[in-house]
Structure 1
Amino acid sequence: MARNIEIKARIDDFSALYAKIALLADGVPDIIDQDDTFFVCPHGRLKLRTLAGSRGELIFYQRPDKAGPKTSFYALSVTEDPDGLRETLSLAYGTAGRVIKQRTLFRLGQTRLHLDRVSGLGDFLEFEVELDDQQTEAQGIAIAEELLERLQIERQELVDLAYVDLLKLKAHPHSAR
């Protein structure tokens, strides 16, 4: 499975962070509307991401819920029938939640920087340092830590949960994680 190092942080000023990232990035960003449906999955997370038109991606991943840099292992399959696949997976496994967001995607070397506007939650920065087969987790974490510093992201802004979990917590604030 592919690996990356991920960090997520809540942000207060989307425009200011956009400007900082634009100065560092390798080019202009892509704006992507994403509709993620999560399915019940006992050994990680399984989501179907619907993109523009009839494109979709089925993504399985395993990642610890902790603040700061964390390793994510993932596998991705492309589909041209996301609606049909969503229906089939919903019947087979049941849905665990849905996240709708607009993602502004920048690239910086081997890192994908996402400025996410998440419906019902607000604005976030998420970045993923893509590791190649020769790179260690420690090397990826060092890249992530350097980016946190360059972007002046404070530790208290880091988020340990997935968007789908944050939405569930918002809907049911007294439930356990």
Structure 2
Amino acid sequence: MARNIEIKASVENVESLIPAVASIANSGPVEIAQDDTFFRCDTGRLKLRAFSSDKGELIFYRRADRSGPKESFYIRSATSEPESLRESLSLAYGQVGRVRKLRTLFLVGRTRVHLDRVEGLGHFLELEVVLGDDESPESGVREAHELMGRLGIRPDQLIDSAYVDLLARRTVTRE
């Protein structure tokens, strides 16, 4: 399985971060609309990400729910039929939530920088430092901390949960 080091931070407004990220990026920005459906899974998380009616990917991943840089293990499988796959997985496993977002993607070296506008939640920054096969997580953690510093992300902005969990908590709070 592929691995990366991830952080997620709440930010006031992603547009205000675009110039800072663009100044250090090797590529981007790329705008990506994403519709993520999460399914019951006892061994990690399973989500179907639809980009359009004929393009998507099924993603299984495992990572700890804690703030700060954390290691994530993942595998992605492309699909040309995300709608029928969503229906099949919903019938087989049941949905646990859905997250719709507009993502602005930049690459800073080997790090994917996501500036996310999440429907019903707000604005976030994610860093995903891609690790090599035999690379220690510590080198990715150092890189994540360095980028957080360069982008002005404070430790108190870090989020310990997935968007789907934040949305579920928000729904429970409103009821």
**5 Å matches for 1:129-148?**
129-148=129-148
Q: What corresponds to 2:126 in structure 1?
A: 126
Give per-residue Cα distances to partners, 1:84-140, cap 9 Å, x unaligned: 100000000000000000000000111000000000000000010000113110011
Q: 1:14 Cα deviation (Å)?
A: 1.9
Normalised by the length of structure 1, the TM-score is 0.96
1:53 CA drift (Å): 4.0
Q: Distance in 1 between matches of 2:84 and 2:115?
A: 29
Higher strand share: 2
How far did 1:16 drift? 1.8
Match of 2:165 in 1: 165
Equivalent pair of 2:53/2:81 in contact (CA under 8 Å): no
Corresponding residue for residue 99 of structure 2: 99
In structure 2, C-alpha distance between the alignment counterparts of 1:165 and 1:138, rounded to whole Å: 27
Unaligned stretches of 5+ residues in structure 2? none
% identical equivalent positions? 54
* TM-score normalised per structure 2: 0.97
Cα separation, 1, equivalents of 2:128 and 2:65: 15
Structure 2: distance between partners of 1:36 and 1:8: 17
Q: Does 1:46 align with 2:42?
A: no
How far, CA to CA, are the matches of 2:8 and 2:145 in structure 1? 12
What residue number does 1:84 align with?
84
